[in-house]
Structure 1
Amino acid sequence: MNPTIARRTLASSAAALVLLSTTAGLNTVVAQERADRGILEEITVTAQRREENLQEVPFSVSALRGDRFQTLVEAGEDIRALANRVPSLYAESSNGRLAPRFYMRGLGNTDFDLAASQSVSIIMDEVVQENVILKSFPLFDIERVEVLRGPQGSLFGRNTPAGIVKFDTRKPTSELNGYVNATIGSLGTANIEGAIGGSLTESNVLMGRFSFIDQNRDDWISNGFTGESDVMGGYDETAWRAQLLFEPSDNLSALLNVHGRNLNNGTASIFYANIIGPGDNNLNENFIRDVVYFDEGENNPQEADALGFSLKVDWDFGNDLVLTSITSHEELENSSYGDIDGGNLVSGPGFIPFPSQTRDGLDDLEQITQEFRLASNARDNVFWQTGFFYFKSDFTVNTEPFFVPPTEVRHKNDSWAVFGQVAWDLSDSTTLTAGIRYTDDEKEMTTGSTPNPQPLVEVGDDQVSWDLSLMHVLNDNVSVYARVASGFRAPSIQGRNIAFFDANPYSVATSETILSTEVGFKSEVSDRVRINGAVYYYTIDDQQFSAIGGNTNSNVLVNADKGVGIGTDVDAEFVLSDNFVMTIGASYNDTKIDDANLVTAVCAQCTVMDPLDGNGFAILDGNRFPQAPEYQFNITARYSTPVGDDDELYWYADYAHQGDANFFLYEAAEYHSGDIFEAGLRAGYIANNGQWEIAAFARNITDEENLKGGIDFNNNTGYVNEPRIFGLNFRMNFGE
């Protein structure tokens, strides 16, 4: 059977099983529990690879429960919905749903190449998702999202100098439980998500859980050049996860997680020609959200197939000594095709000097990881853990620029590390935590089928990362901490220019290293108010940047001598009454490139604000990092009205504001975001103590048209945020 058909059949069968089980009158109609009214919930996180109260973690962490995260993505949004919803976290993509780029405290990587590394790691069920396409796996049946700010190199490894976004899905339990969640909305949006799980044996030795999501949106963007109506903007995506938990005794457990996805009929990013300026970043009269004028790109199709598994085994040897093994394997293929100039030479819109279309994809990506971790509470006041980690990836990037035959560039990466951490309670009120990791990282690049073959390129490095923190409890309500941490991003190879016969067909960047200092506090000033905050300062040596586009139309890796970041982030939650809860998040991130000799090519038609050298290149010294909003602010509010003993009516609103961010290394009047915002609203009714819920919602309720990025080598092309989506959501929970 075709794998795609098999996955769809499996997802459909699961949905039918959930509905059948519910209508058969199972004795498990107990709803998901609501939190005790009027007080804060305790938040448990695993930011240090063990369960802890959020208030006891000695660095800056934000946590979102699965239900709050679900609100952000119910209209079909992908992982980028987290952007600006968590202090100091930003995300964007010039490749649609499949290739998100993340930034934390201003630090990230704007490189759109499919082999590019990032400074923010995505961890899914304790497995790193290194490649940019792996990072885009659809999010469903999520229990908790954790955002760890600052270097996390001791416990999580290289390529974490900015931080980590960590997802934990719901795991199997012995009790039969699950849910069905269905959404219909504007633009032909139709999503269904569900899960069912419970014990598979009477003795509860074997438990399972199956969850799935199917997301669909109709095409809603027309091609004015070809006269075709509604041929872009849609997608059809299915993903699933099957888990088996084996617990033969109190001392042994094994969790198998098998998962897959299929994206069909997707749409890569829509580039709109000459919609910016000139002379400012305002969208001009050329911008019509639902009409483009593509003469190439076959209406920007996008697709992906992925399959993977992980196996986590825990052995408890007694005396609080636990050995953990985590084995994973991921496979992936994808393709994206697009009209890059965003228009045509005949009618534009605006002036387009030459046509540009490109098809990119990953062939046969394979990622393997293995981790062993030994942990113990050696004494009542000492906890330690140590381990070994191995990472291997192998994939081919296929680039087809169409004016020459396609080029295949193969990338391999082998890395291993040993690590350890100790947390020592110096007293009842003071804890010292220290961690260290040694990492060895090797990469190579070779060319396959190409009219422009290149020799083997190899890079490698070994680094020691460490962190040291001190946390002190001032009283029952307030703790303070200080942390110093180092981290690094391994050497990178950029081979995209091989396909375009650039004078510099490939480029190499050496490792960037970061030293970050953070001082913060964690407080629950009452059982109704929680406020956590931090102030940080970091320096980066040999910071890796991608000099993208410009009138040279190239993609080149460069190392800046130094980068500097300073700022603050604050998380707060207020239970204003038994029925009214608010959260507020805010951050300020001031970043600066410190390199008097760093220059880059500039745009073809825009207004450059930087001084230029004798070759017409922009001098970058003092510029902010690209795609680094200077400030971010978000707020949510939920008000409910009880109806009888078991029902409630509620209203939920969220708002996110982003300060100005440059799109490229140079500064231009056109290529920056400005101050932008998005807001959402939800009103619903919960019945039978949470068993049933129906709600109406609107995302981007004011239909803001926010500029998110640009293409600068040809004309003033840009891409924007998602339009307003409104709809209805129905959810049914069952079981315990």
Structure 2
Amino acid sequence: MPTMPVPSARRSFIVHPLALAAALALAAPAFAQQQLQVVTVTAERRVENIRDVPSSISTLSGEALDVLNSSGQDIRQLAGRVPSLNIESSFGRAFPRFYIRGLGNTDFDLNASQPVSLVFDEVVQENPILKGFPIFDIAQIEVLRGPQGTLFGRNTTAGVVKFESVKPVLKKTEGYFSIGAGTFSSVNAEGAFNIPLSDVLAARISLQSQHRDDWVKNTYAAGPTKEMEGYDDTAGRVQFLYQPSKDFSALFNVHGRKLDGTARVFRANIFKPGTNDFVDGFDPKKVSHDGKNEQDLTSDGASLRLRWNLGAVTLHSITGYEHVEVYSRGDIDGGFGAFFLPSSGPGFIPFDAESADGLPKHRQLSQEFRVESNASGPLKWQGGVYLFDEEIRIDSFNYSSIGGNAQNGYATQNQENRAWAVFGSVNFKVSDALELRGGLRYTKDKKDFVAERFQAPPFTPEFTGRLTKETSASNVSGDLSATYALDKTTNLYGRVATGFRAPSIQGRLLFPPGNAPAEKWVSVADSEKVTSYEFGVKSDFLGGRARISAGLFHYTIKDQQVTAVGGAANFNQLVNVEKTIGKGVELDFKLLATDNLLLGLSASYNDTRIRDKNLFVDACGSGCTIRDPIIALAKPDEGKFSPTVAIDGNPLPQAPKTVVNLNARFAMPTGNGEWYVYTDWSYRSKINFFLYEAVEFTGKPLTEGGLRIGYIWGNGKYEAAVFGRNITDQVRAVGGIDFNNLTGFINDPRTWGAQFKMSF
């Protein structure tokens, strides 16, 4: 099947995108005055032209989001759409894991912290389940790469993904409705309605409903779940804007989600031993499971954003509340039976593994007060305080697939997290050409953790009881940057920034680490700190018909928090890496080649390396082919079922070196409207699934292409289109489960469909 060509060598990749941009610029003919739209962002909590912000930022909005949303995919659809961004999940639609510049967290625990923060309508979504909220009626998505410790705080060592909903407007009735249908009986409906309630009050109601039939059939006749991979996912948001004058506004937001579907479908022994090829006869539409598969999620939340213009300063208050409950159960061994039974498979199944995680209790409160100056002179400043309060409870269950799916293990985790911060930043325009920016933030974070095991699964230590941990940490993070204007349309920038991830606690007591004593079953990772340097250029040229942003970066992480997952015990254990180094290059380029042809290219190269000669992890409980030095062999007679390996020099997991996205839109105006063709292609290079390197658990390069052909008429009020996603139907393993057999999970299949949209 066709794939997009990518450079094979590191040096050629760094040169080629920049050379391509230059070549397109030089080859472009003289153009009329039509220009690319100006892009504004709030990356530094003020509305600014993206060209003037001294950091690496990409945005997604408008038609680009409509195209991605058309097939009903979840938030993982954003992976690879901008430089250095990857998103994956072993929970399906419920629990996305974000990676920026190779830095993320593969941890599947519901208490996992991530170094990429997701901020939705100015409220941080801390728990990973909150980060999967559907994308609809969105004004813009901003991806801020690199540490954002000053203005966004802790747990942003890799960056921030920032969502802004379309807001209500006064004195105007408007909205839209979109309905799409496609493969697997999928239906994707969404709409929004802006309602003026008075001269000073308006409401906006936004809704989305997505459905897909199950498309994976269970060939094991006795399996309790016959079909999988379907879902019903409904979300809504209601906003009220009260603005009696230009000097005061209040924006109230209430939102919620209900997901009823299936958990991630794991597939036993899909890799040929010694390779990362699928086994002969692999069929994505079939599995053989004896475990139950189900997933249910409900969430709700609210926020209140107040703004007072007091003349010299503007005061902002942002109050947020979030609550989510989830239960997800799946067949972890990916097959049926066990080798000691009359029948089992596919392939070797040492023992049955079926488990579930639930979040029956969760509550997050946050409050920010921020003051920004309104001065028109060379000096601008802002500062504030931030408060955060979270309580969670996690239930973990184990079941016997070969014993009628009965529960045979149960443990809980409870955590209280309190944090506060004070911050400030200044912008100073030294001259017409040079502007300096800098800021500092002090953060205090405290966690109290309790884990209990009430029912011990078979063949595990019989401990039932209570284990506790607590952490308390403080940190000062900051940034310093400079922007130099070469002319009115071209800026050079440089930035140094630091970030901080608060200590994390992990206590999955169902499956303890081998023969370790009970007091070692709860692991703690110390604070993670990063220092990042970047330099770049941003320019609008060819009379505003072309735009480029390109930059180089280098970061060093001290005590990076990583999770050793898998091994024969299927245990999550937090560890700190002494040092991690990342470096690379990023590019965003757009060209309005003609009045009817818009071209886009984004690309990145990331090289990440673990530097810790004393860090060892258990690997390959499934008997995979290890590439790392083996420090200690497995000794089943001593209760050690996995070899121990050294991971010094390895790349970070789920960190592709190369990400490329190409898109093009060609319009064909008619007397009454416009025909158009839109295509987009996303490529990411190979990835490691785990901290250690193994042949089987290496994901092959993935290329996914999209095509959309449509017609717009009625002055833009109506649109009809047909579309395809992953049109080459490329099937790739995107993750693995290592403790039992060569289990993996795959990307979404090809889909075709049609869509109609009406605006009013």
TM tier relative to shorter chain: over 0.9
Residue 657 (1) aligns with residue 674 (2): no
TM (normalized to structure 2)? 0.90
Call closer, same or farther: CA 1:328–1:685 in 2, change over 3 Å. same
Q: C-alpha separation between the residues in 1 aligned to 2:33 and 2:304?
A: 38
Residue 521 (1) aligns with residue 534 (2): no
Residue 352 (1) aligns with residue 310 (2): no
RMSD of equivalent CA atoms: 1.4
* Number of equivalenced pairs: 692
Corresponding residue for residue 609 of structure 1 = 627
Kindly report which structure 2 residues correspond to 1:255-294, keeping only aligned pairs within 5 A, or say none: 255-264=251-260, 266-285=261-280, 287-294=282-289
SS in 1 for 2:64: helix
2:373 counterpart letter in structure 1 = S
Corresponding residue for residue 461 of structure 2 = none
Task: Tell me the alpha carbon deviations over residues 419-468 of structure 1, each in whole angstroms, 9 at most, x when there is no partner.
Answer: 00101111111110001100000112113562432332101210000000
Q: C-alpha separation between the residues in 1 aligned to 2:747 and 2:700?
A: 14
Q: C-alpha separation between the residues in 1 aligned to 2:269 and 2:323?
A: 38
Select which of 111, 117, 142 maps to 2:113.
117
Q: Is the 8 A contact 2:168 2:194 kept in 1?
A: yes
Residue 72 (1) aligns with residue 68 (2): yes
Once the 2 structures are TM-superposed, how far is the Cα of residue 282 of structure 1 from its aligned partner? 1.1
Once the 2 structures are TM-superposed, how far is the Cα of residue 288 of structure 1 from its aligned partner? 1.2
Call closer, same or farther: CA 1:508–1:669 in 2, change over 3 Å. same
Q: Is the 8 A contact 1:406 1:499 kept in 2?
A: no
1:686 counterpart letter in structure 2 = I
Residue 329 (1) aligns with residue 325 (2): no
Q: C-alpha separation between the residues in 2 aligned to 1:497 and 1:602?
A: 20
2:311 counterpart letter in structure 1 = G
Kindly report which structure 2 residues correspond to 1:348-427, keeping only aligned pairs within 5 A, or say none: 348-402=345-399, 404-427=408-431
SS in 1 for 2:650: coil
Select which of 608, 611, 615 maps to 1:594.
611
Deviating more after overlay: 168-177 vs 372-381: 372-381
Select which of 576, 579, 595 maps to 2:593.
576
SS in 2 for 1:263: strand
Q: Is the 8 A contact 1:92 1:102 kept in 2?
A: yes
Q: Is the 8 A contact 1:151 1:486 kept in 2?
A: yes
Q: C-alpha separation between the residues in 2 aligned to 1:86 and 1:220?
A: 30
Once the 2 structures are TM-superposed, how far is the Cα of residue 286 of structure 1 from its aligned partner? 5.3
Corresponding residue for residue 640 of structure 2 = none
Select which of 234, 243, 246 maps to 2:242.
246
Task: Tell me the alpha carbon deviations over residues 59-118 of structure 1, each in whole angstroms, 9 at most, x when there is no partner.
Answer: 000011133112112111111111011100000000100000000001000001010000
Kindly report which structure 2 residues correspond to 1:557-706, keeping only aligned pairs within 5 A, or say none: 557-603=574-620, 604-615=622-633, 616-644=643-671, 646-706=672-732
Corresponding residue for residue 298 of structure 2 = 305
Kindly report which structure 2 residues correspond to 1:172-183, keeping only aligned pairs within 5 A, or say none: 172-174=168-170, 175-183=172-180
Once the 2 structures are TM-superposed, how far is the Cα of residue 361 of structure 1 from its aligned partner? 1.0
Corresponding residue for residue 495 of structure 1 = 507
Residue 472 (1) aligns with residue 484 (2): yes
Q: Is the 8 A contact 1:105 1:628 kept in 2?
A: yes
Q: C-alpha separation between the residues in 1 aligned to 2:537 and 2:509?
A: 47
SS in 1 for 2:656: coil
Call closer, same or farther: CA 1:38–1:672 in 2, change over 3 Å. farther
Q: Is the 8 A contact 2:417 2:448 kept in 1?
A: yes
Which 4+ residue blocks in structure 1 deviate beyond 4 angstroms? 227-230, 498-502
Corresponding residue for residue 21 of structure 1 = none
Task: Tell me the alpha carbon deviations over residues 565-609 of structure 1, each in whole angstroms, 9 at most, x when there is no partner.
Answer: 010110000100000001100000000000001111111221001
Q: C-alpha separation between the residues in 1 aligned to 2:186 and 2:113?
A: 33
Q: C-alpha separation between the residues in 2 aligned to 1:450 and 1:419?
A: 43
Q: C-alpha separation between the residues in 1 aligned to 2:560 and 2:181?
A: 45
Q: C-alpha separation between the residues in 2 aligned to 1:388 and 1:471?
A: 27
Once the 2 structures are TM-superposed, how far is the Cα of residue 37 of structure 1 from its aligned partner? 8.4
Task: Tell me the alpha carbon deviations over residues 356-375 of structure 1, each in whole angstroms, 9 at most, x when there is no partner.
Answer: 00011101210000000000
Deviating more after overlay: 425-434 vs 69-78: 69-78
SS in 2 for 1:187: helix
Q: C-alpha separation between the residues in 1 aligned to 2:439 and 2:36?
A: 31
Corresponding residue for residue 550 of structure 1 = 567
Corresponding residue for residue 728 of structure 1 = 754
Q: Could you tell me the percent identity over the aligned residues?
A: 47
Corresponding residue for residue 435 of structure 2 = 431
Structure 2, unaligned runs of 5 or more: 1-31, 401-407, 456-463, 634-642
Once the 2 structures are TM-superposed, how far is the Cα of residue 220 of structure 1 from its aligned partner? 1.4
Kindly report which structure 2 residues correspond to 1:155-166, keeping only aligned pairs within 5 A, or say none: 155-166=151-162
Q: Is the 8 A contact 2:314 2:374 kept in 1?
A: no
Q: C-alpha separation between the residues in 2 aligned to 1:548 and 1:272?
A: 18
Q: C-alpha separation between the residues in 1 aligned to 2:506 and 2:79?
A: 26
Q: Is the 8 A contact 2:251 2:304 kept in 1?
A: yes
Kindly report which structure 2 residues correspond to 1:54-65, keeping only aligned pairs within 5 A, or say none: 54-65=50-61
SS in 1 for 2:350: coil
Q: Is the 8 A contact 1:450 1:499 kept in 2?
A: no
Structure 1, unaligned runs of 5 or more: 1-35
Q: C-alpha separation between the residues in 1 aligned to 2:505 and 2:726?
A: 38
Q: C-alpha separation between the residues in 2 aligned to 1:143 and 1:210?
A: 14
Call closer, same or farther: CA 1:582–1:292 in 2, change over 3 Å. same
Q: C-alpha separation between the residues in 2 aligned to 1:100 and 1:532?
A: 28
Task: Tell me the alpha carbon deviations over residues 513-543 of structure 1, each in whole angstroms, 9 at most, x when there is no partner.
Answer: 0000000110112211101011000000011
Q: C-alpha separation between the residues in 1 aligned to 2:468 and 2:566?
A: 25
Corresponding residue for residue 188 of structure 1 = 185
Q: C-alpha separation between the residues in 2 aligned to 1:578 and 1:507?
A: 59
Q: C-alpha separation between the residues in 1 aligned to 2:738 and 2:59?
A: 37
Residue 226 (1) aligns with residue 221 (2): yes
Q: Is the 8 A contact 1:275 1:284 kept in 2?
A: yes
Q: C-alpha separation between the residues in 2 aligned to 1:614 and 1:192?
A: 55
2:617 counterpart letter in structure 1 = T
Call closer, same or farther: CA 1:352–1:499 in 2, change over 3 Å. closer
Once the 2 structures are TM-superposed, how far is the Cα of residue 410 of structure 1 from its aligned partner? 0.6
Once the 2 structures are TM-superposed, how far is the Cα of residue 377 of structure 1 from its aligned partner? 3.0
Q: Is the 8 A contact 1:274 1:286 kept in 2?
A: no
1:342 counterpart letter in structure 2 = G
Corresponding residue for residue 102 of structure 2 = 106
Q: C-alpha separation between the residues in 2 aligned to 1:252 and 1:353?
A: 65
Q: Is the 8 A contact 2:451 2:509 kept in 1?
A: no
Q: C-alpha separation between the residues in 2 aligned to 1:703 and 1:134?
A: 30
